[in-house]
Amino acid sequence: MTKAERSKRPRRRRGAAQDTGADPAARRPDYTRLRNPFPPMPAFSDDRIAAMHEAALRVLEEQGVRILLPEARALFRTAGARVDDDSQMVFIGREIVAEALATAPASIPLRAGARHRDLVMEPGAMIFQPGAGAPHATDLERGRRPATAADFRELVQLTQAFDVLHILPPLVEPQDVPVHLRHYFTMEAQLTLSDKLPFVFSRGRGQVLDSFEMLAGFRGLSDEAFRAESHCFTIINTNSPRQIDVPMAQGLIDFARAGQVAIVTPFTLMGAMAPITVAGAVTLSHAEALAAIALSQLANPGAPVAYGTFTSNVDMKSGAPAFGTPEHFKASLAAGQMARLIGLPWRCASGSAANVNDAQAAHETQFALWGCLLAGATVSLHVAGWLEGGLTVSYEKLITDLEPLQMVAELCAATPADEAEIALDALAEIGPGGHFFGASHTMERYRTAFYQPLVADWSNFGTWQERGAQGASERATTIWKRVLEEDARPTIDPDRAEGLAAFIARRSEEGGAQPLN
């Protein structure tokens, strides 16, 4: 390749999610809507999966679930479940579960802030979410700290900038915002800094209804239009083993009645809140998920609800949660089989228990990611940025975790192998001892042939040393800072923004909405 040719090469700006069209010949991969290209891998035989499903039904019927919210228990009672209000135990018959699985939709449209951000949550889709839910944030410049509102906004902006991150999570907990106002802050940040599907915590009816109102107002939707599709999502964690707390049950009911998708996610660590075996933990998780799905359908048959689990193991010496382990992987595979058995879209998660963005963090996160991918997860959470088992989100790790995600996304499009690709003519053109750098076949394709890495540095050792011997995390610092500087927030309708701000001001003055625990 001549120097002139090299200088003409389009440079893909690192960190910029979307080229502004500077070079029409530049490579423009589309990571916005992905379909899982991987063959599903089973953990267990079909008859074992059936046995686990049957065992879960027996757990619900014979052992029951403690449901703390009276309104929820009433729904189950009306449906024919045996309910004991003193012990708060609900014994759910399999016919209730079967009915719920029959009404829960297999395909859930997700309506975001722009059409190219819309998604469909259905078996076969592949949706990635970074973060999330961490009380701390960390980066190489400012160190580890209790997460702040500023961190939340920055992490939303970083999530917005990369197409392979499809939906917004509660990346970190902005601890400097009073709890009764926090949902206003987070919704405003999500809606004004991003056009991706926003998240709403199920922390009580007050916060949830506030959030729906903010969202419907900002999107300019009537009540009916709002309920017709999911414009946001929530995560419903059961309290393993076998308990659904008040705000979670409330969230299931409120989201179902508003037609907004709830992603059911028992958090079942083997040996701690769940049996120490993969089969036992997944059976327990499955039972709890079925109970939660049933509640959503009893509140509103046909309401969008996704199956899910967050099952991994603990270190039996210390009790510390572990992620990216073989047990985590196996549990993901088994959950995928359960999800395919019941026919619902489902959520899984990556993760790492590392304390710093090193080889352990990378290996654990990617290993867990492959568990999600081979399990056929519809939505994979915590795929970028997560450290310390979820206690901290790292800016640098969010960036370095993007590389395997983008590379996975590259595998989604079919690779051609037609005659032109097989290139018999090119093979004939270049003889023994030759090279393909100058072949016409190469020249026609080199601009767009290969994935351009975000973080990876492929320069030789000498060059790398001269440039400062930066590791991946250090380069990631440069990247996230540039992305924040570029500030690629979407264009926001100023009237809508004003309306939102006014709503928030009024509600704040009224005292906000305390979270329920």
Sequence letter at residue 220: G
- Shortest Cβ distance from residue 421 to a second copy (Å)? 4
Cα separation, 398 vs 129, in Å, equals: 11
Nearer to a second copy, 231 or 397 (CB): 397
- Shortest Cβ distance from residue 153 to a second copy (Å)? 24
Angle at 340 between CA 339 and CA 343, to 5 degrees: 85
CA nearest to 162, candidates 448, 405, 408: 405
Contacts 24+ apart (CB under 8 A), 409-413: 409/29, 409/31, 409/34, 409/164, 410/29, 410/451, 411/37, 411/38, 412/34, 412/35, 412/36, 412/37, 412/126, 413/29, 413/30
Nearer to a second copy, 65 or 263 (CB): 65
- Shortest Cβ distance from residue 408 to a second copy (Å)? 8
With 0-12 CB in 10 A as exposed, 13-18 as middle and 19+ as buried, what is 109? middle
Nearer to a second copy, 433 or 494 (CB): 433
- Shortest Cβ distance from residue 296 to a second copy (Å)? 20
Angle at 185 between CA 179 and CA 189, to 5 degrees: 150
Which stretches of 207-318 are assigned E, i.e. beta strand? 233-236, 243-244, 261-264, 267-270, 305-308, 310-314
Nearer to a second copy, 195 or 245 (CB): 245
- Shortest Cβ distance from residue 207 to a second copy (Å)? 25
Nearer to a second copy, 81 or 187 (CB): 81
- Shortest Cβ distance from residue 360 to a second copy (Å)? 4
Cα separation, 459 vs 469, in Å, equals: 11
Nearer to a second copy, 187 or 454 (CB): 454
Cα separation, 329 vs 127, in Å, equals: 18
- Shortest Cβ distance from residue 432 to a second copy (Å)? 4
Nearer to a second copy, 216 or 331 (CB): 331
Nearer to a second copy, 12 or 180 (CB): 12
CB 382 within 8 A of CB 129: yes
Q: Compute φ and ψ for 308, nearest 5 degrees.
A: 180, 170
- Shortest Cβ distance from residue 191 to a second copy (Å)? 32
